Amino acid sequence: MIDKDKLSKIGIGTWGIGGFDKRNPNNNDTAQINAIKYMFDKGVNYIETTLWYSEGHAAKILAEAISKSNFGRENIFISQAIYPHKVDTLLQAEAEVSKFLEMIDSDNLDTVQFTMNGLYKYGVDESIGFFKDLLKTKKTRYISITNSDLETLELMHREFKEKFFSHELAFNFEIRNNEDLGITKYATRNKILNVVLQPLRRNRTAMHNWKLLSDLSKKYDKTQNQIILNWTSSKGFLPLVKSENISHIDENLSAFDFNIEDEDLRDMNNWRPLGYKSPDIDWRMSGKGVAPHQLPNIFDSEYEKQRKQPRH
């Protein structure tokens, strides 16, 4: 099985594969299978999925891509996410793991991840016991967590040490909450991989045409998306992308064939959207504030609303 330190600089996200929350009956499965296979054959070796996506059809497409790839299951790091709004109990979570293993014709996963609110829904102690059972029975090599606050990240690290593989989080050019709160720093210091969802905000960041990104794009003769992916990777983070367009895949893969100068990296690290104040984060789904995974989705409307507010 692939080692943690042999991962590609980019990973595959599967939201939109086979549909979204519901399966798309008109989905072009062949194009998506070929796109994932193409990325595998180009050396991309990390993928994350869940049986929730497209009612399990995303996982079937992934399994087909693995079977057709020259890369081989043993050279692909697979993360299975389990979401509490679709899986009510730990017994159901166990069934999800078993079903997914059967679909991909494998004895084990590389990591199984819960959302932070899933931990609290199922019970923290109970969830920890569930993860330890998966590790003991070798159904997974590692465990992971998604959209965690610092307190919970520290708790899980104390429990699992080197078996705690990754923290999947919302981070991109405009959204830096996890960095500003010290969450990414803690993860990096303790060798927990920061896996980034929506690093490009589904192309919405480039649509803003921020001056710094525009200037760097011209300087390096790269697209703004390539600049963002390169910068994200320079932090040691693993950005997840999804595309079934071969030219877009090649663009993403070419984001790592150049180096951004230190001064430009500092400018990107220090940049923030002028005048933007992030909404309060609802880490534990209390209904007060914005769920952390929704921060990239509400940025545009929130930024525009704040711009229109009178300054005093």
Place of tokens 């980034």: 196
Say how many CA atoms lie within 13 Å of 285 toward its Cβ.
13
SS3 235: coil
Average pLDDT over residues 236-265: 97
pLDDT tens sequence across 177-231: 999 999 999 999 999 999 999 999 999 999 999 999 999 999 999 999 999 999 9
Rounded CA separation 82/242 (Å):
19
Helix segments in the chain, DSSP class H: 29-41, 57-68, 90-103, 116-122, 124-136, 150-160, 177-180, 183-189, 204-208, 211-220, 224-234, 246-253, 262-270, 295-308
**Could you tell me which residues come within 8 angstroms of residue 75 by beta carbon, excluding any fewer than 6 positions away?**
2, 45
Q: What was the pLDDT predicted at 309?
A: 81
**Could you tell me which residues come within 8 angstroms of residue 17 by beta carbon, excluding any fewer than 6 positions away?**
32, 36, 49, 53, 54, 57, 58, 61, 62, 242
**Could you tell me which residues come within 8 angstroms of residue 114 by beta carbon, excluding any fewer than 6 positions away?**
81, 82, 84, 93, 122, 127, 131, 144, 145, 146
Average pLDDT over residues 286-303: 95
Residue 311: pLDDT over 80: no
Question: If pLDDT is split at 50, 70 and 90, which confidence band does 34 have?
Answer: very high
Domains and CATH numbers, the chain: 4-268 (3.20.20.100)
CB 110 within 8 A of CB 140: yes
**Could you tell me which residues come within 8 angstroms of residue 132 by beta carbon, excluding any fewer than 6 positions away?**
none
Question: If pLDDT is split at 50, 70 and 90, which confidence band does 254 have?
Answer: very high
Percent of the chain with pLDDT over 90: 94
Residue 200 is which amino acid? Answer: L
pLDDT tens sequence across 139-188: 999 999 999 999 999 999 999 999 999 999 999 999 999 999 999 999 99
What is the torsion angle, in degrees rounded to the nearest 10, for the CA atoms of residue 147, residue 32, residue 54 and residue 229? 10
Q: What is the pTM of this model?
A: 0.96
